[in-house]
Every structure is written in C-alpha cells, then in structure tokens.
Amino acid sequence: MCRILIFGGTTEGRLLAEYCHQQEIEAYVSVVSGYGADLLPESEYLHVLSGRMAREAMEGFMKRASIRAVFDATHPYAAEATRNIKEACGRAGVSYLRVTRESAAAENPGGDSGKGPAAAFASQVVYVHSVEEAVCYLKDREGDILVTTGIKELAAYTALPGYEERLYVRVLPSCAAISACEDIGIRGKRIIAMQGPFSEEMNRAMMRQLGVRYLVTKEAGAAGGFLEKLSAAEALSVTAVVIGRPLEERDGITLDAAKIHLKEAGTVSAKRKFSLIGTGMGGLGQMTLAAAEALKRCDVLFGARRMTDAAETLGEAASKILRVPIYGNREILEWLESHPEHKRAGVLYSGDTGFYSGASGMAAVLSEKPYCDSYEFTTYPGISSVSYLCAKMGRSWEHVKLISLHGRDCDAAQALAQNPAVFTLLGGAHTVKELCEQLLRAGLTDVRITAGERLSYADERIVTGTPDQLATMEFTSLAVVLMERNEESEGVR
C-alpha cells in the first residue's frame, strides 16, 4: 500500500520521484501543473496528483490515503505552499519532512556582504529580501533586466517605469507561464520560455544576446543553477540582484538525507509483488503488451516448463530472469519464502486468467492471511482460446456457453441440448473422439463441430464437421471445441 506523499514541482521533487522508481518505492507525487507531471518518470510505483491543493484538500487526502510520511520538496520560495503542507500534516497526524536545497549563496541572506561560495561575486551582487525590494533598487537605474524569479510575483515588476520595454522574463515552457507574462504586458521576444537549470555558457550567451545590465534571481541553491548565473553575470559585468532565501528554509533535510528517509518509509509498507500472467494460447506472442511488460519486470518466473522456457523469446531482459518450472500454489510460495531476495514474482498461466485458470486459485491464496500481509498481486489477462477460435471462424461468442472438460467432468451433451452453442476445453481422457461419441449417443447428430488444436502455432489446425465425421479423426489431447446445435436437433432435454 502506498503511504508516502511527495510535494514536488522542483528538481528535488523529480529526483525523489526517480529514486522511488529506481528503488521500487510506491509514492504519491503532487505537482501543480501538467508540465510538472510530464517531467516525472513513467512508473508503476508513482501515482501523480496534478493540480493545486488547498490545505483542507491536503489534509483530507492524507487521511483517506493513510499517508505516513510527507516530503515537502516544493520550491524554496513557495512559502505559502510549505505552510499549508506543514499545517495539513499536523492536523492529519502525519510525519513532515522539509527537503531543502544545498545553499549556494551567502549564509546571511539580505545582507550586503556575502559569505560562502557567492562571496567571490560580492562586488557585482546586490542582496535584497524580496521581489518588491529588488524593484525598488532597480527603479533608479537604467538598462534592461533579465528576470529569472518565476511567475508567482511577476506583478510586482509592473512598478518599474517602462517595464514592458525593460524586462526579459525567463520562465518555464508552459502555457500558464506564458499567459502570466502576457497578463502583465510582457509579450513576444520579451518572453524566454525554457527549461533549466542552465550552464554558465548558456546564461552568458543569453545575457550577451539580450544586452541586459541586470539579472534578478533568487538564491535557489545549487540545483537551481545559481552559481552558473552569477559566473555568467560577472563575466559580462552584469549586476546580479539576489533575493535571499527565506529564513525558515534553513530548517530541513538534504536530498541525500531525504532518500534515506524514503527508503526507510518505503520499506515499512513494502510488499513483494506478484504478477499472475495469462500467456494466451500457444506461444507468448499471444500475450498482451501489458502482460509482456509485467513479465519483464519480474525477477523470478514460475509455470510449466514450456511457458517459462518460452520467456526467452521476449528479448534479452526476459531471458535473464530466473525461471523455476513449478506451478503448484503452495510449492511456489514455499520457494519464495526460502528465497527472500526475490521481490517480484510472476506466474505464467496458459490461456486467459479468467477462464478455468489456475490463476484464480493463486489469487484466492494470496488474498488470505498470512500471504496477504506479505504479497500484493496484479492479474494480467491473456487472449482466451474461445476468443481466438471464434475470431478465426469469423463469429461472435456472446451467445456461447463456456464449459471445461480439461481435468474436470461435465455433461457436454446436456449443455448443448440447453444452449445453441457450447465451447469446451478438452484434456486427458476427454478427447475430440470421446466428445463426439457422447453427442452421438445422446442423439445430437445434426451438430456442427469445430475443433482446434495447436492454436496460434505454425502447425495450427482447425477442422469443422459433424460428430460422426470428427469421431474418426485424430487430435491432440489438448484441444478446444465449439459445438453449434441446429434448433431442429433432437437429443437430451
């Protein structure tokens, strides 16, 4: 069960999401925009929540999803979001961890003399506390300005005289960001929509091309490309106006520490994964794409030898998976209990998992204690033999009665007498010959019989005739039959 919630939309949030994917840790990842969601890796372990959430919505979700740990990896300057997340965690009784960026600027934001890595640029760096303070500084100075502080506080720059002709605004390449610029009158070439962080060379080329004299940036840490901006500005004698990091940002944990906490939180609720995979009839080429991908993610495969051996045909990744040719439910589970290093098991079942398949038995076992506490399973259906055969015949099968004579007893003649069409699996003593003789004894002579064997293989064989005709033919024991009765036929009633 997923008990971890990451609030992202930043480089740190994306890196934490990637870590969860790599370590097979399930997590909810909350981002404000669809653009932020697009940057996340596609993963079965990540459940993306897209859209801004109010504090009440956060609290409600944490309670409904039984969240145990929240990692706040929102932007260092998203103070309101952080307050809401922290308050929601307190109300929901959930552990809160603030993931902070490693600072690349002064240790005393807001001061005029920097310390630390940014001190090397002190002669060309002006520190301020806010966007409003940056605007006040720039009001009395001439020259174009490159703004890299995001869209949330763009409106503050409208206080600059002639701002529409002075500002170049670098924002994320999203419709929302471009619209925010246009809303305050920044248009066309004054908008630079690009995804960072940017190298020093890229920043330098951009500032030189634009001919700016000032750069406005937030002290967003190493992950935000802060020092690269300052280096580029120094090389071009551009003055950098730096908005210092909020004081509350000093409290928190680093990205590396967050990964350790994630690993611990994920291990608490982690269950071993079980995939019940229907292979379809015949070769593995009849598997669905979802089933094939699930197979490739396994680290051990169980099933009849013909199916586990066939896994090699799915490519190099599948050929490296450990294959164990056993298929008894208890036998498989005993093997796994003695091999705890395997976390992702797959069991291959011929045909479809929902039609007289051993998958139902394994699903029942995994749903009961003690196994339900240690395993979680997903079923991947295969292409069934009835679907395949009817497709070959050009028939629909919604009217067909489904039975099985494979390892079980059933009165096929009685079933056909009561239904216009019956499909059955055969096996063991129940052969095509034996079935036809049973129909003849019951007086069901005016019946159309279609028998299929080796379906989907190169030597596939499908034969249609009457019971007396097929009774004289030879078929393999593992065959399927579609019986269709004429309404005029007489027999068992």
332 with 302: CB under 8 angstroms?
yes
Query: Rounded to whole angstroms, how far apart are CA atoms 286 and 391?
Result: 13
pLDDT tens for 173-194 read 999 999 999 999 999 999 999 9
List the structure tokens of 97: 């961890």
- Tell me whether residue 106 is in a domain: no
Instruction: Say yes or no to pLDDT of 106 above 60.
Output: no
The answer to whether residues 402 and 453 belong to one domain is yes
Instruction: Evaluate whether 82 touches 92 at the Cβ level (below 8 Å).
Output: no
Q: 13-29: per-residue pLDDT in tens?
A: 999 999 998 888 889 99
- Say yes or no to pLDDT of 289 above 80: yes
Q: Are both 238 and 275 inside the same structural domain?
A: no
Assess whether pLDDT exceeds 60 at residue 111.
Answer: no
Let me know if residue 493 belongs to a domain: no
Residue-wise pLDDT for 412-429, tens only, equals 999 999 999 999 999 888
Output the pLDDT for position 312.
79
CA 472 to chain centre: 54
**Nearest to 97, CA basis, from 267, 259, 269:** 259
Q: Residues 333-373: pLDDT tens digits?
A: 999 999 988 888 999 998 888 888 889 999 999 998 888 88
Cα gap 136→120, rounded to integer Å: 25
CA distance 412 to 324: 36
Average pLDDT, integer, range 283-299:
84
Task: Point out which residues pair with 483 in neighbouring strands.
Answer: 422, 449
pLDDT at 306: 85
| 289, 261: one domain | no
Residue 204 lies in a domain: yes
Q: What is the pLDDT of residue 105?
A: 44
Domain that holds residue 33: 4-100+251-267
CA pseudo-torsion sign 183, 184, 185, 190: negative
- Residue 423 has a pLDDT of 96
480 and 426 in contact (C-beta within 8 Å)? yes
Return the CA Rg of the chain.
Answer: 33
At residue 158, the pLDDT reads: 95
Q: Do 361 and 375 lie in a common domain?
A: yes
pTM above threshold 0.75: no
Instruction: Tell me what pLDDT residue 112 has.
Output: 42
255 and 330 within one domain: no
Distance CA 11, CA 226 (A): 13
- pLDDT value of residue 432: 94
Residue 105 lies in a domain: no
What's the CATH code of the domain at 276? 3.40.1010.10
Q: How far apart are CA 88 and CA 67, in angstroms?
A: 12
Domain edge (last residue) among 354, 383, 412: 383
Instruction: Give the SS3 label for residue 483.
Output: strand
**In whole angstroms, what is the distance from residue 245 CA to residue 249 CA?**
7
111 part of a folded domain: no
Average pLDDT, the chain: 86
Which residues, 6+ apart, have CB-to-CB distance to 477 below 8 Å? 426, 427, 428, 431
At 121, the pLDDT band (50, 70, 90 cuts) reads low
pLDDT of 387 reads: 92
Smallest Cα–Cα separation from 182: which of 205, 164, 196, 194? Answer: 164
CA distance 370 to 336: 14
Give the pLDDT band of residue 453 (cuts 50, 70, 90): very high
The answer to whether residue 108 is domain-embedded is no
Q: Could you say which of 327, 348, 383 is where a domain stops? A: 383
Q: Which is more confident, 488 or 391?
A: 391
- Examine the domain organization and report whether 427 and 372 are in the same domain: no
Same domain, 286 and 371: yes
Q: DSSP 3-state assignment of 421?
A: strand
Q: Among 355, 383, 411, where does a domain finish?
A: 383
Q: By mean pLDDT, which of 76-80, 139-143, 275-279, 468-472 is the weakest?
A: 76-80
Higher pLDDT, 30 or 407: 30
Are 261 and 283 within one domain?
A: no
Residues 352 and 422 in one domain: no
Cα 166 to the chain's mean position, in Å?
44
Cβ burial 34-69 (10 Å sphere, 16+ → b, else e): ebbbebbeebebbebbeeebebeebbebbeebebbb
Domain total for the chain?
4
Q: Write the CB contacts of 447 (distance below 8 Å, at least 6 apart in sequence).
A: 416, 439, 466, 467, 483, 484, 485, 486, 489
Looking at the domain assignment, is residue 492 inside a domain? no
* 216-245 average pLDDT score: 84
Give all strands (DSSP E) within 107-154, no chain letters: 125-128, 145-147
Give the lowest-confidence range in 111-125, 309-323, 395-409: 111-125
CATH no. for residue 18?
3.40.50.720
